[in-house]
Structure 1
Amino acid sequence: MNTSCSTVFTYWDSWQFQATFSHLLILITLPINLFGGYCIIKKTPRNRKSARWYLLHLHAWTIISDVLIGGLVCPYMFFPVLVGISVGVFSWISVPVWIQVFCAQVGLGGLATAIVMLFENRHNTLVRGRFKIEAEWIRYTFYAINGIYALLFLLPVYFQIPDPEWAKPILLKVVCELSGFFSIFRNPFQILPCPHPSYFQNNVFVFSMEISAVTGTAGIFLLFFLAEVFILCIHSSYFLLSLKTHMSPATQKLQIKFFVDMIFQVSIPVAVIVLPMTYCFYSIVWQYYNQMLNNIAIICISLHGMGSTITLIWLNPSYRQFTISVITCFRYDPSFRRSSVMTVSPATITQQHSKKI
């Protein structure tokens, strides 16, 4: 460790802050996410039944990824290097760190696959013609390819995990040299940051020395899934807005609303993940080190599930009305209000008419 470092670290930079906050957050968000799953199962309207299980599948992976990142694994990362400590439940029961990293990858990969499956289901429902996947075995093969890719896209990295005892000093030296080079474009008088003392603990895990290879592989994986979702959305939108659609005007209107709601339901929570991951990418590329921002970025990623559930409930009137009923201890019943208006109004009109006579 460089003894000339003068960086002062606070509680917000420590792994204790991230672990405590993440675990408390899971205790709050998990019941909310489970409530969202109940809404999907029990309160999905009849005109959306065909997509119910795909919505539930996506929601399940949302919960799994949140629990893994925020509770079971809870990685304390030292970006811009791929070095970290597991401070979650798995570390309490001595699960090997590489298995924990793989579990976190599976959670995020399963989430990406579930999003593609949801949009493929809408595409299969809306589209007619040669570009529709008619055969069920082809659809299942398509799902399997996406799932296997999400499961194995980082597999070569796991065979090259270095020994942290010699890798940590080397990575620290490389980071310092690169930071000095990039500081020419920012501030030539900037003092190089020092890693948090936790960096030198014995339980630190070095995922890879080839940072650019890992980020490049992850970038290709992300672009692959984004391209699939984009193509499915564009083609589905073309058929939804086509004048020669096979649907009636009323059905078309309902399908357009459902499709737009689904896009918002996916895009808003995904933004919760993309924004902190953008910071992580910036940190790696420009060799910027700020441990507090690293902690906040990981915590924000674990907020994805709550953002997904809130968006899901807000965009679906049946879920929203049921949620309001639960919050008000079932004193709010929109169906009762509508029926009351329909039964009281004629009587009121009749009574007023008799008074005039």
Structure 2
Amino acid sequence: MVLSYITSPYSYSQVLYIIAEITFPIHLLGGYCILFKTPLAMKSVKWSLFNLHFWASLFDLLLSFFEQPFICMPVLAGFPMGVMKWLNVETGVMVYIGITVNYLVPVSTVSMFENRFFVLFAEDTHWRYIRYLLLIFNYTIAIFSGMVTCLEIPDQQYARAIVFAKNSEIIQFDLPESPMFIISVYNPWITYRLLIYLALFVVELFVFTILIRMNMKKAMTGFRSTISQKTLKMHKNSIKAMNLQVAIPMLVICVPCLSSIIVPVFLSDHQGFINFTNIVVSSHGALSALLMIYLQTSYRAEVVRIVGCCRKLRIGEGVQVFHISSTS
């Protein structure tokens, strides 16, 4: 029932707009907490954490508000349904923006963990010079990979004829106001590049996670005591929170994406399931922000303070109304 409803491009777009209305305030709250409520002892992580939050939030909003890509499988084709489409932004430009932001999320995740490793354990080592090469390399991949894909986009008249001839079931989604845009005509290199880049980022993230864990263990046992035990304990708790903040949203992305490849084989309404996975993925940044607020003590305290003020205000308004009515 639900899959049948969101199979329609228009219903799919409506659901995504609702998701955007719910998640946008969460993104703003997360950004506010990072910028203004990060403790002084953790100021070194503030900008790397905000960098990750920004790109994750933008990725969410691209999926749910600005672009709303309606993706048709098994071919690499689709069309936008979001605000940028109504602003007459070219579909090719939206493809580039979407791919670039998609890569900037894992790159910023790696940068955040690298920053933790550098600040805690490698400021006085040769890594303070080498790290810039890694950062430049990662951000270059993120910025130029989408450009390579866009340069490979085929002539649309030729591509549409071939794709529609072999996949007639997607013709029903070729709308007059949103014509199907073919990104690739059976070009496996796009998939290969995606898998290679993601594998590279996963390896980097794994390496920094292991390095932080090993050095933290040595420091906590007194072998490397350049940082006070109290500060180390605070950073250790912060890193645990970062691990959960990254791991759980990654599952929200990976599980639906893998399911979108496997499950449609057993479903007749596979387009509805693909749309469902896009809807789930479009909320991963908001989930990450909620986890961050919950796991970081200073952020959680600020939200409790805000909610407490709102509650007191509502109670105060209620008392005032009751007093007026009683005197009348």
Which interval holds the TM-score relative to the shorter structure?
A: 0.7 to 0.9
Give 1:268 deviation, angstroms. 1.4
Q: 1:129 to 1:98 in 2, by over 3 A?
A: closer
Give 1:61 deviation, angstroms. 1.1
Q: 1:67 to 1:200 in 2, by over 3 A?
A: closer
Q: 1:284 to 1:131 in 2, by over 3 A?
A: farther
Indicate the residue corresponding to 1:53 in structure 2.
47
My pick for the range that moved more, 17-26 or 194-203, is 194-203
Out of 80, 86, 96, the residue aligned to residue 80 of structure 2 is 86
My pick for the range that moved more, 269-278 or 159-168, is 159-168
Indicate the residue corresponding to 2:319 in structure 1.
none
Give 1:222 deviation, angstroms. 0.4
Q: 1:134 to 1:207 in 2, by over 3 A?
A: same
In structure 1, runs of 5+ residues without a counterpart are 1-8, 177-193, 333-357
One-letter code aligned to 1:254: M
Give 1:142 deviation, angstroms. 2.5
Give 1:200 deviation, angstroms. 6.4
- Partners of 1:322 and 1:287 in 2: how far apart? 46
Indicate the residue corresponding to 1:292 in structure 2.
272
Normalising to structure 2: TM-score of the pair? Answer: 0.84
Indicate the residue corresponding to 1:157 in structure 2.
149
Indicate the residue corresponding to 1:125 in structure 2.
119
Give 1:276 deviation, angstroms. 2.1
Give 1:22 deviation, angstroms. 0.8
- Partners of 1:289 and 1:283 in 2: how far apart? 10
Indicate the residue corresponding to 1:205 in structure 2.
181
Q: Is this contact kept in 2: 1:314–1:320, CA < 8 A?
A: yes
One-letter code aligned to 1:231: V
Indicate the residue corresponding to 1:33 in structure 2.
27
Out of 221, 224, 236, the residue aligned to residue 245 of structure 1 is 224
- Partners of 1:289 and 1:195 in 2: how far apart? 12
Give 1:293 deviation, angstroms. 0.7
Indicate the residue corresponding to 2:195 in structure 1.
219
Q: Is this contact kept in 2: 1:175–1:287, CA < 8 A?
A: no
My pick for the range that moved more, 204-213 or 228-237, is 204-213
One-letter code aligned to 1:33: H
Residue 236 (structure 1) aligned with residue 212 (structure 2)? yes
**How many aligned residue pairs are there?**
305
Give 1:195 deviation, angstroms. 3.0
Normalising to structure 1: TM-score of the pair? Answer: 0.78
Task: Tell me the secondary structure at the aligned position of residue 70 of structure 2.
Answer: strand
- Partners of 2:148 and 2:267 in 1: how far apart? 24
RMSD (CA atoms): 2.6
Give 1:131 deviation, angstroms. 6.7
One-letter code aligned to 1:209: V
In structure 2, runs of 5+ residues without a counterpart are 313-328
CA deviations 1:279-338 (Å, max 9, x no partner) are 344479999871111111111111012101111111011111211221232668xxxxxx
Give 1:160 deviation, angstroms. 2.5
Q: 1:14 to 1:118 in 2, by over 3 A?
A: same
My pick for the range that moved more, 39-48 or 303-312, is 39-48
Give 1:127 deviation, angstroms. 2.2
- Partners of 1:99 and 1:276 in 2: how far apart? 26
Q: Is this contact kept in 1: 2:100–2:146, CA < 8 A?
A: no
- Partners of 1:249 and 1:322 in 2: how far apart? 26
Q: Is this contact kept in 2: 1:80–1:288, CA < 8 A?
A: no
Indicate the residue corresponding to 1:167 in structure 2.
159
Task: Tell me the secondary structure at the aligned position of residue 128 of structure 2.
Answer: coil
Q: 1:328 to 1:207 in 2, by over 3 A?
A: same
CA deviations 1:172-223 (Å, max 9, x no partner) are 55458xxxxxxxxxxxxxxxxx336113656110000134221111011101
Indicate the residue corresponding to 1:328 in structure 2.
308
- Partners of 1:50 and 1:130 in 2: how far apart? 16
Indicate the residue corresponding to 2:16 in structure 1.
22
- Partners of 2:17 and 2:280 in 1: how far apart? 13
> Residues 105-124 of structure 1 correspond to what in structure 2 (within 5 A)?
105-124=99-118
Larger Cα-atom Rg: 1
